[in-house]
Amino acid sequence: MNAAMQVTILLGLVLFGLGLTGILVRRNGLSVILGFQLMGVGSVVALAAFAHHHADRAGEVVALIVLAAGVAQALVALSLLCLRDRRGGDVDMEQRLPEFEG
């Protein structure tokens, strides 16, 4: 492995770690979504680095597909959070809406 790939893998690992920390520490819905996005971007950076190192365009295509799926996931999650906020709920992940309590 060359130095550029090591730095790129380290960057992906740092992004993944920051996302995981954001998910585990925060309980706000928006922070959890951002944590998932950081984890996804970190894994995509690592995947793209390996694909570039092996001169394989298929890995880069998969990385773009994963990024597109992550954006779609974030849009759905944000729309659900906005719906929950409009119904009078809090975006705190530990609170439940009254109609969903058993």
Q: What is the pLDDT of residue 82?
A: 83
Interhelix angle for 29-53 vs 3-25, to 10°? Answer: 160
As beta bridge partners, residue 63 has none
Tell the residue number behind the tokens 């390996």, with chain if given. 50
Q: What is the pLDDT of residue 92?
A: 67
Q: What is the pLDDT of residue 55?
A: 85
Q: What is the pLDDT of residue 56?
A: 81
pLDDT along the chain (102 residues), means of 10: 88 94 86 89 90 84 88 88 76 59 53
What is the sign, positive or negative, of the torsion defined by CA atoms of 34, 39, 75, 81? negative
Q: Which fold has domain 3-100?
A: Helix Hairpins (1.10.287)
Q: Spell out the domain ranges in the chain.
A: 3-100
